[in-house]
Amino acid sequence: MEPRFDIESVNYMLRTRRSMFVAQFDPSYTIADDDVIETILENANWAPTHKMTEPWRFTVFSGEGKAKFAQFQADLYKARAEKNDNFNEAVYQKMLENPLKASHIIAIGMKRSGAVPEMEEIAAVSMAVQNMYLTASAYGLAAYWGTGGVTFYEEAKPFFGLEPQDMLMGFFFIAKPLTDRWPNGKRNPIAEKVTWVK
């Protein structure tokens, strides 16, 4: 059966999705229903994927797991920074505290298959994260994809079940927003970014 979509609803969802950051989170709220997170992940699983490599890998941190994640990244940052003599206490504290302000944190990994160019698997994971963004927005949740912390630390990969050839692509933070007021968006006109050849 041919799928039928309501284009107005699709347009609205795509154009009103926003990133919301830690300062916009309600740190007292926890998403109690795992079904919400599982739906976000299931929709991620339906992203386009060349040769069906399905390269996305997710590690979900909630409850006490957030504290384990926070301590891991803070300790790894500290060890690396002290070795390079550029430790910053404020950065260390931020790594310890910010994860606790989210309801859930999802580490985003790309499992390398070797069956397609790396760029295609990075793109597939990115599309999976877009599905996560849209689903979180549909639930009225605040979310953002960040590539801070230990994202680019090679030695962080094993903590997230990744091999050296794989890629840690950041972290997806999910929370209840502090306010019901959804942020406004801004984009430059698409005409500035498109060349038509007819």
Query: For position 74, what pLDDT does the model report?
Result: 98
Segment 14-20 shows an average pLDDT of: 95
Does 18 have pLDDT greater than 90?
yes
Nearest residue to 27 via CA among 105, 92, 86: 105
**Which SS3 state, helix, strand or coil, does residue 182 take?**
coil
Cα-to-chain-centroid distance, residue 123: 14
Percent share of the chain, pLDDT over 90: 96
- In this predicted model, which residue has the larger pLDDT, 5 or 160? 160
Query: For position 114, what pLDDT does the model report?
Result: 96
Nearest residue to 131 via CA among 35, 41, 4, 54: 41
Q: What is the pLDDT of residues 41-82, one digit of tens each?
A: 999 999 999 999 999 999 999 999 999 999 999 999 999 999
Query: For position 197, what pLDDT does the model report?
Result: 98
Query: For position 116, what pLDDT does the model report?
Result: 98
Q: Going from the N-terminus, what domains does the chain have, and what CATH number goes with each?
A: 19-178 (3.40.109.10)
Phi-psi region of 138 (alpha: psi -120 to 50; beta: other; left: phi over 0): alpha
Does 1 have pLDDT greater than 80?
no
Alpha helices (H) in 18-117, listed in sequence order = 34-44, 64-83, 89-97
Mean pLDDT of the chain, nearest integer:
96
3-state percent breakdown (helix, strand, coil) of the chain, nearest 5: 45, 15, 40
The model's pTM:
0.95
Query: For position 4, what pLDDT does the model report?
Result: 84
Query: For position 102, what pLDDT does the model report?
Result: 98
